[in-house]
Amino acid sequence: MNTSTMNKTIISSAIFICISCALFSKDNKTKSFLQNKEVSVKVNALFDSIIKVKNDLNRLEINKGVDQYLANMLRPASSFSDTFKLIKKIGKVFSPDKKFCIITWNVPLIDGQNIFFGYIQQNPGKDSICNIFKLNDVSNSTSNIKVNNQYKPDQWIGALYYEIIAEKINKNMVYLLLGSRLNDMKTNKKIIETFSFTNEGQPYFGLPVIDNNGILQSRIQFEYAVAISMTLRYNKKLEMIVFDHLSPSSPIYKGDYKFYGPDFSYDGLKFEKSKWVYKSDVKVF
């Protein structure tokens, strides 16, 4: 075989290998998508069944199937970038630095209360399997949520998270989680929760980095009438978390949160000197 023929053979072989690899990769992605799509259909069907069942124990039993499907879906590294948009009842929110994401959902009970479920999924990097942490909601069994307590994933104050804000404090990344807590038939709740990881990579909730009028705390919870909407978002223009100021509809209802709602003023949290500082009467417009 002359040199010219050999070179043509090598080039042809290289092209064949590249095309084969591309097809194999495409096939894997297609297979993964189809598998996730199939699982999504099954999970959506389970959620539909949960609503139809008129018994709390049966609802929670069906939810075990949802939980198992998700635990399996979250293991492969390819699942980290999946937004789970095909699943109607599950929220997935990523940290700004893409170090982790949190997946949350809820099971409504007959009396209007809710039990929350979720997972923390860490970015796998070059690993083939994601590290995940299951969240165990204890909020219904805890009569008074402490504003300064630190909680592990198995002592979670359940919420449906929809936004994560990140700042570096003392060389460590600290996150604020914004979430909604469907409470009961009379009130809803929203929460600002602090979150981080230990040096060993273990997640935990509760760092006293919120300066509420000179008092450091780990979280803020809001409660208001179930028929009312409350704004709680990070405002990029103002570079701060902005939220509705809640007041009772009449002074006689002070402390009775089923009569609370926005009073058309706003408060906020602004990051200053390694703390999130409470600001009253924020000018949004």
Q: What tokens were used for 189? A: 């709740």
Instruction: Please give the pLDDT value at position 35.
Output: 55
Q: What is the pLDDT along the chain (285 residues), one digit of tens a residue?
A: 554 444 444 333 333 333 333 333 334 443 444 456 788 899 999 999 999 999 999 999 999 999 999 999 999 999 999 888 889 899 999 999 999 999 999 999 999 999 999 999 999 999 999 999 999 999 876 556 788 899 999 999 999 999 999 999 988 999 999 999 988 899 999 999 999 999 999 999 999 999 999 999 999 999 999 999 999 999 999 999 999 999 999 999 999 999 999 999 999 999 999 999 999 999 987
Residue 134 CB burial class (10 angstroms; 0-12, 13-18, ≥19): middle
Residue of 222, 218, 236, 251 whose CA lies nearest to 284: 236
Look up the pTM and report it: 0.86
Q: SS3 of 200, please?
A: coil
Instruction: Please give the pLDDT value at position 143.
Output: 56
Please say whether the beta carbons of 121 and 130 come within 8 A. yes
Instruction: Please give the pLDDT value at position 66.
Output: 95
Instruction: Please give the pLDDT value at position 39.
Output: 81
Q: CA–CA separation, 146 vs 138, rounded Å?
A: 12
Q: What tokens were used for 29? A: 């992605």
Instruction: Please give the pLDDT value at position 141.
Output: 67
Instruction: Please give the pLDDT value at position 33.
Output: 41
Instruction: Please give the pLDDT value at position 142.
Output: 59
Task: Locate the domains of the chain by residue range.
Answer: 3-279
Instruction: Please give the pLDDT value at position 17.
Output: 32
Q: CA–CA separation, 44 vs 47, rounded Å?
A: 5
Q: CA–CA separation, 27 vs 185, rounded Å?
A: 48
